[in-house]
């Protein structure tokens, strides 16, 4: 049986991942992308967080099984 806290954690992680992806789309497909500050924030903060959150959404159960032994 799946614990309710696991379901909520995954749901909020998915929302965060979608918010980061939305920011990435806004920067690439709107005039906001012309700002040097927006590009810097996207390259240094948003994109690495998007990659990590995507990997955790994808491989977290396998990682937790491996860490438990």
pTM, entire model:
0.81
User: Would you state the pLDDT for residue 6?
Assistant: 81
Q: Which of 18-22, 42-46, 49-53, 64-68 has the lowest mean pLDDT?
A: 64-68
Domain ranges within the chain, ordered by starting residue: 4-68
pLDDT at position 13 is 93
Per-residue pLDDT tens over the stretch 4-19: 888 898 899 999 999 9
Question: Could you read off the pLDDT of 24-43 as tens digits, one per residue?
Answer: 999 999 998 899 999 999 99
- Rounded CA-CA distance 41/54 in Å is 18
Q: How many CB atoms lie within 10 A of CB 5?
A: 8
Residue 20 burial by Cβ neighbours in a 10 Å radius (0-12, 13-18, 19+): buried
């Amino acid at each position: 049986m799946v614990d309710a806290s696991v379901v909520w954690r995954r749901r909020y992680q998915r929302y965060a991942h979608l918010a980061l992806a939305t920011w990435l789309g806004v920067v690439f497909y709107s005039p906001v992308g012309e700002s040097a500050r927006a590009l810097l924030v996207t390259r240094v903060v948003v994109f690495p967080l998007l990659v990590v959150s995507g990997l955790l959404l994808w491989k977290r159960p396998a990682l937790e099984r491996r860490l438990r032994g």
